[in-house]
Amino acid sequence: MANAAPHAVIGKDGVDALIAVLAGRGRTVIGPTVRDNAIVLAEISGGDELPYGWGVEVEAGHYRLRPREDGAAFAHSAGPQSWKTFLHPQRVRQWSAERRADGTLVMAEDDTPPPSYAFLGVRPCDLRAIAVQDRVLTGGQYADRAYRGRRERAFLVAVECTEPGATCFCVSMGTGPAVGDGYDLALTEVIDDEGHRFLARAGSAEGEAVLARLPRRPADTTTETAARERVAEAAGRMGRTMPPVDLQVLMRETLQADRWDDVAARCLTCGNCTMACPTCFCTTVEEVTDLTGEHAERWQRWESCFDVDFTHLPGGPVRASSRSRYRQWCTHKLGTWYDQFGSSGCVGCGRCIVWCPVGIDITEEAHALNDERAATSQEATS
């Protein structure tokens, strides 16, 4: 075939071919699929495993699958996992040690080759989350070499959002619903009287090479217009918003707000929000040995700032109260992340709202803090 045009149109057969081409290039294809009454991210081998005809109903502390009549594959908001699960896994072995017969210790750093992933269906908010984790884990003086290895071998197929969920607020965070930079291929799903199809465009040289191998046709004006309109309509249907203020300043000026007591009375400090968040990156390490004491391993695993021992010192935990731990998470995510990494740590995916067992809503808390700040300021000037 001739070289692919910058924009092309593929059908469902093109998506099938995309998965086959990526697998043929030695990549493990990860995409959304229906399992255990949820749309989860898992290894897939064909387009028939995508969630065609399924959407989701989400609210604070609520997630349900629902059938769709239009047969869309990507008309669902963020699920319980993010791509962090694969790029920054929950548990990773760092090294192992063996005691030889003569009593000497031999240590070996884990040198498992990084997998070569192809992520199919990366939402714009999650695309930004990957960029945020790139900055955290590969920028600066202390880079995570294991993360870098997985990230450099990953191929990203982004899908623009055309139907946000009730807990989405990517517009407030400037992360969607249109895709930004950082993808290899981008798709926009269009279903209308002209049929079920995807507007495709390449964002890298490898993306162009993959697109060139798919059954496709040149992009037409009708499809391009429909794609733009659906993304623009999605921007106007966000289920949540952040207050239209500088969130970094808001967090800094409300550290003593009464609202923190209100949320502390509801928060279970379970850490679900940090586990579901696509940008939370904190880890700890643990050593394990076999029963003989001759073999030991060090494992890195996810940690949460909601854990009371997260800040444990000889004199006790620095943040002993649920109030202080929720405030730390929220103010870091929306405020002090800028000081460390030059951006917000929140991408507006809404996962922390959906997967909080008591339905705490970070956007509601931000609005409440802003209202309290305004009321306090008015009282001070009256």
- In this prediction, residue 194 has a pLDDT band, given cuts at 50, 70 and 90, of very high
The answer for 326, left when phi > 0, alpha when psi is -120 to 50, beta otherwise, is: alpha
> How confident is the model at residue 378, as a pLDDT?
82
Asked if 139 and 101 touch (Cβ cutoff 8 Å), the reply is no
CA distance linking residue 16 with residue 291, whole number of Å:
49
Summarised one tens digit per residue, pLDDT across range 317-326 is: 889 999 999 9
pLDDT, average across residues 177-185? 95
The whole-model pTM stands at 0.93
| 144 has a pLDDT exceeding 70 | yes
| 234 has a pLDDT exceeding 60 | yes
Asked if 330 and 365 touch (Cβ cutoff 8 Å), the reply is yes
Read off the tokens for 99: 């005691």
Closest CA to 348 of 147, 124, 136: 124
Summarised one tens digit per residue, pLDDT across range 348-370 is: 999 999 999 999 999 999 999 99
* Proportion of the chain in helix, strand, coil states, percent, rounded to 5: 35, 25, 40
Read off the amino acid at residue 152.
Answer: E
Asked if 90 and 286 touch (Cβ cutoff 8 Å), the reply is no
Q: Which residues of 184-202 are buried (b: 16+ CB within 10 A; e: fewer)?
A: bbbbbbbbeeeeebbbbbb
